[in-house]
Structure 1
Amino acid sequence: MLVIAYIGFGNSVCQYHLPYVEERKEKMKVKYIYRREEDRVGDLERESWYPTIRFTSSIEEVMQDSEVNLIVVNTPDQFHVMYSRMALENGKNVLTEKPFAMTSAEAKEIFALAKEKGLLAMANQNRRFDADMRTVRKVIESGVLGELIEVESHYDYYRPAIAANKRMGVLYGLAVHPVDQIIGEFGVPEKLVYDVRSIDNPGISDDYYDIDFFYPNGLKAIVKTSYYVKLDYPSFTVHGKKGSFLMPSLGHNSSKEKPNGPYPLPAEEYPEALWGTLAYMDQEGKEVNMKVPVEKGDYGIIYDNIFDVLAGNAEKIVKDEEVVAVLQIIEAAMNVAKEAK
């Protein structure tokens, strides 16, 4: 049984963690949610939505409870390393929200500490299991596209108010998702080319990026985000020697309506208008055109994997070297953004 304690109680915990853990209650449960006392003032109603969870402002209570075997760190980014280290030093396995650390060097230190203690430390790169990413993966793994030539990922917005943003942070807060999706699917590239800047505040912000990943087998992957895109691109475009696949944008999680109560597990039944479009040449040389239903997104897959790893039945689904590679890419991209004057 996984006995879980969360550090933090933001929207991410309520929407992207608790519903998926609740679905798996035969093998995991949430015992604690730790919040600083000042964060609880005026916000006790939300706590009442989860009567079986103990809310506490004593981090010692959580760390000293021998029943707890997984700490989930879901705090502002700058505290991820501090709480991850604390969990490991107290003999707890740890799942840490992305970015796992603010630098690749810090990530290496945490992974080394986990290895020394014989514990699990993993990044919650759950966006590998988004509905659109799972659909793309299914098509790629079917082999109908043949040898892959190019994969393009878009995570765009139309938010002209971004012009007021005069600080760095988009790479760590947003790019960490699509960059990890590419690394998780295709591995670490042999070469990267960066165009990272701000349309309105070059050298000051990092709200536009176009990063190209080049692989030894000839595959090129592209990750792009802009805040000045009024018409949606497909979220993924995949071209192979035998065909192509277009995955429409399914919208942004941040735009979904917040319920006045616990988040339900998403139904995610997408209409045919949002299904993927697949065209390829079959083995007889005939053209095949079809719509591909959207796979169900499932952020609980991370928890399933942790359960299996701790039982000795699996390897970590998000590898240490992948986490380090993503952070190294973001660090290099940050430097490009700062020089983009």
Structure 2
Amino acid sequence: MTSQQKITVGLVGFGLSGRYFHAPFLSTHPGFELRKVVTSRPDEVAAFDPSISTVATADDLFADDSIQLVFICSPNETHFQYAKAALEHDKHVVVEKPFATNESETDQLLEFAAKRGLLATAYQNRRWDSDFLTVKQLMDQNRLGDVLDYEARYDRLMPVDSRNQSWKERPGEGRGSLYNLGPHLIDQALQLFGKPQSVSAEVRMIRPNSMIEDFFTIRLGYTGKQVTLRSSLMMHQNQLRFSVHGTAGSFIKGGLDVQEEELRKNRLPNEPAFGIEPADRWGTLTANGLSEQVESLPGNYGAYYAGVHASIADGADPLVKPHEIQQIARVIALARQSSLESHTLPF
């Protein structure tokens, strides 16, 4: 039986991640109480929920003994220091992707949390994207047969704008698309196919005046199949998400999961029809010379939060496990090295 224990939560950051991804789910899940947010924009927190208090620094949050769980939603290079500090204050932590900026930091955080008997896990919400759940179901049902060629993409059209002051467009440790979008694509592929045998990659800047790496192609080596992960921030036609070809059929899927879009419109995840894709985003399955639209499964980021609650309240295994977090960090490290050295590396 699932515990009804109420877990008190604090957020470090109230930007896109804290405001639109985490706060709505934490506020609507009966097992969480979102109490405190670290932010320089307290008015935005008050507009979301005036009962949530705000503090100016992460140290102020960590010093609050009433907070049991902290979500780290700050710039990538701060993830390690904030997560470590939260664990030192005996708080469980959920860290936005990337979990850390390198393998050493990843291992240190996971080992430190284990020694203290605390949960430290990564926010890999895209396992519960509508399109990915649909691809996984088709594979589980063997409707594609043996997968021979898998390609997944996260593309955007985001030309460099000198007026954009976002930290994501500034150079720094752990910055760029490989760290911001790569963990999603890598995690999905590892969920479907397991640990790869090799990694090769190209990571570079392609936009005029870009200060970050905004393009990558990663190829994961598996016996009998080609697995390719791509992202570009300079794609005018950016609808393609999945192309999966197998011995029994092919599945092509475009468009993005609707949950982020709905959250940005201030819809809450407990509203009717949340996460359900419109028919014009459904993918096409082709087999035996015939094509059919496949209704997308509903997206369900709420399952992630239910899993975090179960881990803390009931001792359930985390949905995003330590070895999976380490494998993502390993692929990112190898992708960077492969791109620099221009050759394939063993995993």
Q: TM-score, normalised on structure 2?
A: 0.83
In 2: Cα distance, 1:309 partner to 1:257 partner: 25
Question: How far apart are 1:85 and its partner, in Å?
Answer: 0.6
Tell me the residue number matched to 1:303. 305
User: Tell me, which stretches of 5 or more residues in structure 1 are unaligned?
Assistant: 282-286
Using structure 1 for the length normalisation, give the TM-score: 0.84
Work out which of the residue numbers 166, 184, 206 in structure 1 matches 2:191.
184
Is the CA contact 1:205–1:338 (under 8 Å) kept in the aligned structure 2? no
Question: Partner of 1:247 in structure 2?
Answer: 253
Deviations 1:295-337 (A, max 9, x none): 2222222211111122445311112122122222222333455
Query: Counterparts of 1:64 and 1:160 in 2: how far apart (Å)?
Result: 41
| Alpha carbons 2:276, 2:299 under 8 Å: kept | no
Aligned counterpart, 1:274: 281
User: What is the identity percentage for the equivalent residue pairs of Structure 1 and Structure 2?
Assistant: 28
Note the C-alpha offset of 1:115. 0.8
Distance 1:327 1:290 in 2: 38
**Residue matched to 1:126:** 125
Shift of 1:68: 2.3
Return the alpha-carbon distance in structure 2 between the equivalents of residues 160 and 69 of structure 1. Answer: 41
Correspondences of 1:142-221 after superposition (within 5 Å): 142-161=141-160, 167=171, 169-199=176-206, 205-216=212-223, 218-221=224-227
Contact 1:203 1:338 in 2 (8 A): no
| Structure 2 residue 59 is matched with structure 1 residue 34 | no
Q: How does 1:64-79 map to 2 (within 5 A)?
A: 64-79=63-78
Match runs of 1:220-231 below 5 Å: 220-231=226-237
Say which SS state the counterpart of residue 308 (structure 2) adopts: helix
CA distance in 2, matches of 1:171, 1:273: 29
Which residue in 2 is equivalent to 1:10? 15
Whole-angstrom CA distance in 2 between matches of 1:101 and 1:189: 21
Change (3 A) 1:215 1:312: farther
2:345 corresponding residue in structure 1: none
What amino acid is the match of 1:240? G
Post-superposition shift, 1:64? 4.0
Determine if contact 2:36/2:53 at 8 Å carries over to the other structure.
yes
Please state whether the residue corresponding to 1:116 is helix, strand or coil: helix
Q: Work out the number of aligned pairs and report it.
A: 326
Give the 3 Å change call, closer, same or farther, for CA 30–159 of structure 1 in structure 2. closer
Q: Report the alpha carbon displacement of residue 67 of structure 1 after superposing the two structures with TM.
A: 3.5
1:247: how far off?
1.3
Report the CA distance shift for 1:149/1:338 in structure 2 as closer, same or farther (over 3 A): closer
Residues 57/224 of structure 1: CA separation in 2 closer, same or farther (3 Å cut): same
CA distance in 2, matches of 1:292, 1:33: 41
Residues of 1 paired with 2:201 and 2:19: CA distance? 35
Instruction: Give the corresponding residue for 1:83.
Output: 82
In the alignment, the residues of structure 2 paired with residue 159 and residue 100 of structure 1 have an alpha-carbon distance, to the nearest angstrom, of 24
Does structure 2 conserve the Cα–Cα contact (< 8 Å) formed by 1:205 and 1:337? no
Please tell me whether residue 57 in structure 1 is matched to residue 61 in structure 2: no
Does structure 2 retain, via aligned residues, the 8 Å contact 1:197–1:203? no
Tell me how far apart the structure 2 counterparts of residues 34 and 233 of structure 1 sit (CA, whole Å).
Answer: 35
C-alpha separation in 2, matches of 1:160 and 1:60:
36
CA shift for structure 1 position 235: 0.3
Per-residue CA deviations over 1:5-29 (Å, capped at 9, x if unaligned) read 111111211111121223312x222
